[in-house]
Structure 1
Amino acid sequence: MNKSELIEALAVKKNISFKKAEEIINTIFDSMATAMLADERIEIRGFGSFVVKEYKAYTGRNPKTGEAIAVSPKKLPFFKVGKELKERVAE
């Protein structure tokens, strides 16, 4: 499912306009992005949690040449699936 399909599903399920559903979905995603930029954890019970993981700098290798390269420290979003969702998918 992509964002457009999610908007359409919300519009159909709640009998609202596509424009209103798009506004709701965008508000949710924007709020989640803002929280993650502030290093906040997002937890949706039964679904999973989103956190920002910090990775330290390290020396990597260029796979083509084998040359050592310095990889800068970085922050990346990480999703951990919740127990309930994991069990439902595994059925």
Structure 2
Amino acid sequence: MTKKDLADKLAIKGDFSKTDAESYVNFLFDEITGCLVANEEVSIAGFGKFVAAPRAAREGINPKTKEKIQIAATTVAKFKPAKQLKEAVAK
């Protein structure tokens, strides 16, 4: 499912115009992104939790040249599914 597909389903179920539904979906994703950039946790009951987590610098290997390279430290987005989502997917 793409972001457009999600907006289309919201438009149908919520009786919104497609433009409004797309704006709502974009707003939601922008807010989640903004919270992660600000290093805030986003917890959606029954769905899961988004967090920004630091990843330490590490040594890697260039697969083409087999040369060792240094990979810089960074921050990554992580998602931990809620118990209800895990159970729904497992069925």
- Aligned pairs for 1:5-84 within 5 A: 5-84=5-84
User: What is the rounded CA distance, in whole Å, between the counterparts of 1:59 and 1:5 in structure 2?
Assistant: 40
**Partner amino acid for 2:65?**
T
**Corresponding position of 1:4:** 4
Q: Which residue does 1:88 correspond to in 2?
A: 88
Over the matched positions of the two proteins, sequence identity in percent amounts to 40
Q: How high is the TM-score relative to the length of structure 2?
A: 0.95
Deviation at 1:56, TM superposition (A): 1.1
SS at match of 1:65: coil
Partners of 2:24 and 2:47 lie apart in 1 by 19
Gaps of 5+ in 2: none
| Separation in 1, partners of 2:14, 2:60 | 49
Q: CA deviation at 1:65?
A: 2.5
Unaligned ranges ≥5, structure 1: none
If the length of structure 1 is used for normalisation, what is the TM-score?
A: 0.95
CA distance in 1, matches of 2:14, 2:21: 9
Structure 1 vs Structure 2 CA RMSD: 0.9
Q: Which region of structure 1 is more displaced relative to structure 2, 25-34 or 62-71?
A: 62-71
Q: Which runs of 4+ in 1 moved over 3 A?
A: none
Greater shift in the superposed pair: 59-68 or 14-23: 59-68
Q: How many residues align?
A: 91
